[in-house]
């Protein structure tokens, strides 16, 4: 997360609109991906194939962040049309 924080702060200082608009979902997605990887070294029992419950939850968090980032331009465009 420290590496993400450094990268994110750098992008914000450069005023990158993608990072400004999607910062929360980028952090959530990074956390989900990182947590998914870390779960391989933990001694929990498998629930779905070789994956633990925490793998499934981490993957769900990552997918959620990806969906929210992918749908962000459409939401903003539809909001702009509704306001105009």
Residue 9 neighbours by CB under 8 Å, 6+ apart: none
> Do 70 and 29 form a contact (C-beta atoms < 8 A)?
no
- Residue pLDDT, tens place only, 6-49: 999 999 999 999 999 999 999 999 999 999 999 999 888 888 88
**In this model, does residue 76 exceed pLDDT 70?**
no
**In this model, does residue 63 exceed pLDDT 60?**
yes
Confidence band for 78, pLDDT divided at 50, 70 and 90: very low
């Amino acid at each position: 997360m420290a590496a993400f924080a450094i990268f994110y702060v750098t992008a914000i200082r450069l005023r990158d609109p993608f990072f400004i608009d999607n910062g929360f979902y980028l952090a959530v997605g990074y956390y989900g991906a990182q947590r998914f990887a870390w779960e391989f070294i933990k001694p929990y029992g498998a629930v779905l194939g070789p994956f633990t419950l925490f793998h499934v939850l981490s993957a769900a968090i990552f997918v959620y962040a990806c969906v929210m980032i992918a749908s962000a331009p459409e939401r903003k465009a539809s909001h702009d049309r509704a306001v105009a």
